[in-house]
């Protein structure tokens, strides 16, 4: 059934970004940590943040209007639930997700340009700088996945492998879930050198360091991936690339796998019309504004690209309305002609 | 009652800009205009709006996911209720507002920087060009005459002979006031190019013989046109600091006849500046776009008026936040 829009609803969507911008500015300025330590006036907050007084006062009032802050006699403090979720040391913190979102939002607001030109607009880093934004990006992936990873892994059936290669393993969320599901297995986590310290930290915190090998590299430019695994996990990387780039990557994975090994591609899998799941249609726009060539793909497209790289028995091992569909395939030793 | 925030609530707010960006980009690219003419497939749409085919397909599919478009067998069409609201000639159009808010969204995305440095930041013009951006902005200021008449009627009978409209804009409000008070005349005062536009509107309303036009800049000019017994100050205080507003009110006081009244139309906040919600967001708009400006509470207005020789301030709240009215009487002696 198609929705019938009213003018007020369309106005509401037009300015919904204002809430997002206020939340993100507060997170980037670390307003919630400062006010979480003690309530204070806008003037004092501006001093602590080394920010503009008028700007800080207007921001604080708008955050109070949104309910993120409470204001009592000119003293501001975080509303219930905010310190836990939006400070770095908060229990169940999603701060990295919000900080990564702030960086992405600067690209999203250039969407008309991106559609006209067909690719991302370089917007430059925010007040935290490019390195901090990259770290937030990696940590954001941990925030998004940590709760669901064990459940998704369990839903794939009893995993049968001895050695897993995590291609672009990031914060190791998935590797850790697999390592816990298969206590005897070894994991090789492969990602860019600046990402590995973050991976290592999470693996150490999980007490799994002795079962992990960390290999620095770049799956786009390296000729070969770390060899010998009987399961390759390629999580949320297919959408960053074009179909040709995915074929090249799948071929490198195929070459690196032991005979009879499997590949599992975790990603959003679209219907053939490319409008369901709705999450995927929105995510494709995210890739448009954030990457040169990325997008979302249907099962038919992913199957074709896996088969072109030499994989057989392609199946949709898990179907989900979000990023956690999983396509599985098996390595044969001979490439098709 | 304070809300208790969950991670899910916060993640929802952190993604709220995505539907905004999709709607606003489609408006900027004239997607709704093109599909109002005829439904079409994404590649045709890309040609029609002059954009990249792959990217247009992604945008069109995301518009379907947001339910702003329908897709049937590969053909995209407008969802019910959108054509009248999101096209330039639509009966309920909000398109100028939507186009203007697309421009402000680009600045809001850099809010942290604005708060650190003090505003505003420059972000350049949209794909539609600087001239189109300015037109959209001016269109958003247009108030329909019926709305103005209704706000004025709510003030009760206005008793005055000569109105000074400070920063008259396109004269929408002065025309409504003159129509409500048949014997009165008005002096319309604004920047030269604005006065020229005001004259056109006043002539079209058949009121030219009751109006005097004066060009000037109320922030720079030492004296305002003298002799009025009602001064109308519409949507001006939110552009300035309280100190600047006191300076303006003092000039208004000096220019007016004894016993006159000042009428201020603007957003009026509650005492702690958090309601109405529109006003709290509007203050941020002033932050990201202007070096000064914000929104003020009735208590602040009262204080600034009292310091410049106006007393007995009354507040008439309106459901449209920008149309709240404060009225005060001029007294002869200005307090020290």
pLDDT confidence bin for B240, thresholds 50/70/90: very high
Reported as a single tens digit per residue, the pLDDT across A99-157 is 999 999 999 999 999 999 999 998 889 999 999 999 999 999 999 999 899 999 999 98
A39 has pLDDT over 50: yes
Q: Is A48 on the interface with B (CB under 8 A)?
A: no
State mean pLDDT over B215-236: 96
The fraction of chain A above a pLDDT of 70, given in percent, is: 98
pLDDT at B139: 79
Rounded to the nearest 5°, which phi and psi values hold at A42?
-65, -35
Q: Residue B323 has what DSSP assignment?
A: G
Selected residue of A114, A115, A148 to mutate for chain B interface (largest B Cβ count, 10 A): A115
A57 pLDDT higher than 50: yes
Is the Cβ pair B65, A51 closer than 8 Å? no
Which residues of A are less than 8 Å from B92 in CB distance?
Answer: 7
Contact B5 A49 (CB under 8 A): no
Of B52, B67, B70, the CB nearest to A118: B52
Quote the CA–CA distance of B330 and B256 in Å, as a whole number: 8
- Residue B82 is nearest to which of A10, A29, A114, comparing CB atoms? A10
Which three-class secondary structure string do you get for B32-88?
HHHHHHCCEEHHHHHHHHCCCHHHHHHHHHHHHHCCCEEEECCEEEECCCCHHHHCC
Q: Measure A69 CA to nearest chain B CA, in Å.
A: 9
- The full DSSP string for A123-177 is ----TT-HHHHHHHHHHHHHHHHTTTHHHHHHHT-S---SEEEEET-TTSHHHHH
For residue range B129-173, what is the model confidence (pLDDT) as tens digits?
999 988 888 777 766 778 899 999 999 999 999 999 999 988 999
What is the structure's pLDDT at B59?
Answer: 96
Q: What is the mean pLDDT of residues A220-244?
A: 97
Give which of B41, B111, B125, B242 to mutate to test A binding, by max A Cβ within 10 Å.
B111
CA angle (B238 as vertex; B302, B246 as ends), nearest 5:
45
Q: Does A268 touch chain B (CB under 8 A)?
A: no
Distance CA B50, CA B39 (A): 16
pTM strictly above 0.95: no
Chain A: closest CA distance from residue B33 (Å): 15
Report the residue from B16, B24, B113 with minimal CB separation from A20: B16
**pLDDT for residue A337:** 45
- Of A20, A28, A114, nearest to B112 by CB-CB distance is A28
Q: Return mean pLDDT, chain B.
A: 93
- What pLDDT is stored for residue A335 in this prediction? 52
pLDDT exceeds 50 at position B301: yes
Alpha carbons B254 and B258: distance in angstroms, whole number: 10
> For residue A51, is it left (φ>0), alpha (ψ between -120 and 50) or beta?
beta
A82 reaches B (C-beta below 8 A): yes
Could A25 and B111 be called an inter-chain contact, meaning their C-beta atoms sit closer than 8 Å?
A: yes
Where residue A265 falls among pLDDT bands split at 50, 70, 90? very high
The mean pLDDT of A314-333, rounded to a whole number, is 94
**A116–chain B Cβ distance below 8 A for any pair:** yes
Q: Could you read off the pLDDT of A65-94 as tens digits, one per residue?
A: 999 999 999 999 999 999 999 999 988 899
Q: Enter the tokens of residue B72.
A: 């049937």
Which of B71, B113, B116 comes nearest A273 by C-beta? B71
Residue in B97, B99, B109 to test binding to A, most A beta-carbons within 10 Å: B109
**Smallest CA–CA distance from B286 into chain A, residue:** A58
């Amino acid at each position: 059934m198609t929705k019938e829009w009213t003018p007020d609803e369309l106005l509401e969507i037009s300015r919904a970004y204002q809430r997002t911008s206020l939340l993100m500015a507060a997170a980037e300025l670390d307003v919630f940590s400062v006010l979480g330590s003690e309530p204070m006036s806008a003037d004092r907050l501006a001093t602590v943040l080394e920010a503009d007084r008028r700007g800080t006062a207007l921001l604080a009032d708008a955050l109070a209007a949104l309910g993120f802050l409470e204001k009592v006699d000119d003293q501001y403090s975080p509303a219930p639930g905010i310190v836990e979720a939006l400070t770095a040391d908060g229990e169940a913190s999603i701060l990295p997700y919000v900080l990564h979102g702030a960086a992405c939002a600067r690209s999203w607001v250039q969407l008309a340009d991106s559609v006209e030109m067909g690719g991302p607009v370089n917007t430059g880093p925010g007040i935290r700088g490019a390195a901090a934004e990259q770290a937030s990006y990696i940590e954001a992936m941990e925030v998004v996945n940590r709760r669901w990873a064990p459940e998704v892994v369990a839903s794939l059936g009893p995993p049968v492998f001895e050695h897993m290669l995590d291609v672009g393993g990031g914060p190791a969320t998935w590797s850790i879930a697999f390592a816990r599901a298969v206590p005897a297995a070894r994991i090789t986590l492969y990602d860019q050198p600046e990402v590995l310290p973050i991976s290592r930290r999470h693996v150490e915190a999980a007490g799994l360091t002795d079962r992990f090998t960390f290999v620095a590299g770049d799956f786009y430019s390296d000729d070969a991936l770390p060899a010998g695994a009987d399961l390759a996990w390629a999580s949320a990387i297919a959408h960053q690339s074009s179909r040709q780039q995915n074929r090249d990557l799948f071929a490198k994975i195929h070459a690196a796998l032991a005979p009879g090994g499997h590949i599992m591609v975790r990603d959003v899998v679209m219907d053939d019309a490319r409008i369901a799941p709705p999450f995927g249609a929105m995510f494709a726009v995210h890739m448009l504004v954030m990457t040169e060539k990325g997008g979302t793909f249907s099962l038919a497209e992913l199957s074709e690209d896996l088969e072109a790289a030499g994989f057989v028995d392609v199946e949709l091992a898990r179907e989900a309305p979000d990023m956690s569909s999983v396509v599985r395939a098996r390595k044969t030793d001979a490439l098709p002609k | 009652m304070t809300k208790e925030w969950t991670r899910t609530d916060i993640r929802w707010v952190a993604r709220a800009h995505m539907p905004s960006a999709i709607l606003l980009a489609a408006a900027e690219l004239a997607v709704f205009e093109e599909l109002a003419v005829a439904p079409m497939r994404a590649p045709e749409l890309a040609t029609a709006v002059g954009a990249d085919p792959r990217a247009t397909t992604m945008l069109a599919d995301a518009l379907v996911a947001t339910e702003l478009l329908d897709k049937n067998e590969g053909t995209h069409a407008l969802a019910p209720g959108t054509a009248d609201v999101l096209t330039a000639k639509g009966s309920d159009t909000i398109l100028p507002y939507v186009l203007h808010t697309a421009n402000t969204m680009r600045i809001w995305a850099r809010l942290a920087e604005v708060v650190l440095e003090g505003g505003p930041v420059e972000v350049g013009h949209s794909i539609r060009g600087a001239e189109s951006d300015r037109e959209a902005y001016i269109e958003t200021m247009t108030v329909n005459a019926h709305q103005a008449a209704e706000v004025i009627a709510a003030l009760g009978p206005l008793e005055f002979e000569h109105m000074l409209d400070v920063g008259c804009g396109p004269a929408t409000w002065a025309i409504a006031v003159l129509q409500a008070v048949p014997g009165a005349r008005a002096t319309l005062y604004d920047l030269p190019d604005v006065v020229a536009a005001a004259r056109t509107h006043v002539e079209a309303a058949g009121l030219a013989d009751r109006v005097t036009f004066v060009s000037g800049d109320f922030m720079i000019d030492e004296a305002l046109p003298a002799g009025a017994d009602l001064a109308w100050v519409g949507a001006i205080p939110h552009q300035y600091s309280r100190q600047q507003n006191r300076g303006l009110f003092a000039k208004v006081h000096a220019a007016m006849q004894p016993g006159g009244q000042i009428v201020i139309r603007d957003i009026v906040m509650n005492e702690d500046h958090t309601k109405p919600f529109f006003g709290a967001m509007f203050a941020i708009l002033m932050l990201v776009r202007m070096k000064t400006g914000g929104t003020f509470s009735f208590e602040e207005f009262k204080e600034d008026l009292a310091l410049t020789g106006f007393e007995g301030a009354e507040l008439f709240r309106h459901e449209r936040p920008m149309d709240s009215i404060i009225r005060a009487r001029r007294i002869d002696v200005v307090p020290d």
